[in-house]
Amino acid sequence: MRTQVVIIGAGPAGLLLGHLLLAEGIDAILVERASADYVLGRIRAGVLETTLTDLLHQLGIDERLNAEGLPHDGFNLADGERLIRIDVAALTGRHVTVYGQTEVTRDLMTAATERGLQIIYEAADVTLHGIEGDAPFVTFRENGVPKRIDARFIVGCDGFHGPSRQAMPAHVAQAFEKVYPFGWLGILADVPPCNHELIYASHDNGFALASMRSNTRSRYYIQVPLDEKIEAWPDDRVWDELAVRLGPDVAGNITRGPAIEKSIAPLRSFVFEPMRHGSLFLAGDSAHIVPPTGAKGLNLAASDVAYLTRALTAFFNAHDNDAIAQYSDRALARVWKAERFSWQLTSLMHRFPGTTPFDRRMQMADLDYIASSTAAQTTIAENYVGLPL
């Protein structure tokens, strides 16, 4: 097989890139090691910046987004005694949209079938070759049969554990990582949310987040130690702890129900540089991971894809190499700002091992300053809603 671009990974980043390239008349084939059902079954966050929703509108893959997405004009920080509302719309003129990543993936997959975007699922032993030249290719096995796709470029949208980043030569690569000493225990339940906007809570017991996927499905998180076992957290214990950490004003609005999904996820900040070498590009989680505080993961992937679409379109349709050469620097400039915001919000709202009474007082003073400062709230709002491309 031959194409112009091979995209490794058919999650939302790879699917979005494939659709954008297809719209520009650029041939692309997606290669995914998992099954379509597995890809669709991943439970992820769902706070979308306008960078992503604008791309979906541009593609016309927005019917369900328009009907079911929940526009949010703000969100809340809780300090145990009050809710500090950050009025994102008033401070920035923009808003975010709550619409699950699973639903974004579903919409992109459905449109791929309708529009003829080629996706090869359950591809085994995916291997990248010749990335330092102008004729790279990908080999894999499909139903046990060896296959090869030749292309001009390869794009790795295959996540943190995929083969694309591993194909980068060690002499050009540099990784930056911070592993946080706690995780998030998440519970998904078919109950109405306790508040119409997200609540990020800082409590002496640890962090909590009240979120939602729709008006009838809620997503909650609590900070737990890294070695915590999910068996130690039956549903009732989770609900009880959420009521404590979110505070008395919120607790009365929590509707309890059986968990339909419960898991513990570790937190890390990770950036890999560069995001391009030769004919290989990285996008999304293959190049960077952010802690979920601040909801930047999928949105950063979308901004990578936006930059990369411009670069590949300029190369194929206008014979312009400049955007290709500049992709990594442009993407990383935005990545590092998002990493800073996620790290800062994580540091503000969580309890770290070894936190002293002084450290805790500094967190509370910071929250008190945010509550009283329009300038501080504007900075948070600008980063939360998404910095411009």
Question: What's the chain's average pLDDT?
Answer: 95
Identify the band that residue 98 occupies on the pLDDT scale cut at 50, 70 and 90: very high
Which residues are within 8 A (CB) of 114 and not within 5 positions of it... i.e. 6 or more apart?
none
How many angstroms separate the CA atoms of 196 and 314, rounded?
42
Identify the band that residue 38 occupies on the pLDDT scale cut at 50, 70 and 90: very high
> 154: closest CA among 281, 13, 337, 305?
281
Using CB atoms within 10 Å of the CB of residue 185, give its burial: 0 to 12 exposed, 13 to 18 middle, 19+ buried.
Answer: buried
Which tokens belong to 85? Answer: 């509302």
How many angstroms separate the CA atoms of 31 and 34, rounded?
9
> 307: closest CA among 281, 331, 273, 280?
331
Give the E-state strand segments of 274-364 in sequence order. 276-277, 280-282, 288-289
Pairing mode, if any, of strands 47-48 and 83-86?
Answer: unpaired
How many angstroms separate the CA atoms of 171 and 81, rounded?
52
Using CB atoms within 10 Å of the CB of residue 306, give its burial: 0 to 12 exposed, 13 to 18 middle, 19+ buried.
Answer: buried
How many angstroms separate the CA atoms of 211 and 202, rounded?
15
Per-residue pLDDT tens over the stretch 2-15: 999 999 999 999 99
Using DSSP's 3-state secondary structure scheme, residue 145 falls into strand
- Which fold would CATH assign to domain 5-48+100-176+270-345? FAD/NAD(P)-binding domain (3.50.50)
Residue with tokens 């591809």: 123
- The residues carrying an active-site annotation are 72, 200, 292, 296, 384
Per-residue pLDDT tens over the stretch 181-218: 999 999 999 999 999 999 999 999 999 999 998 899 99
Residue with tokens 């998904």: 188
Residue with tokens 């030569």: 169
Identify the band that residue 356 occupies on the pLDDT scale cut at 50, 70 and 90: very high
Which tokens belong to 182? Answer: 């706690």
Cross-strand partners of 83? 78
Residue with tokens 């579903």: 106
Per-residue pLDDT tens over the stretch 120-144: 999 999 999 999 999 999 999 999 9
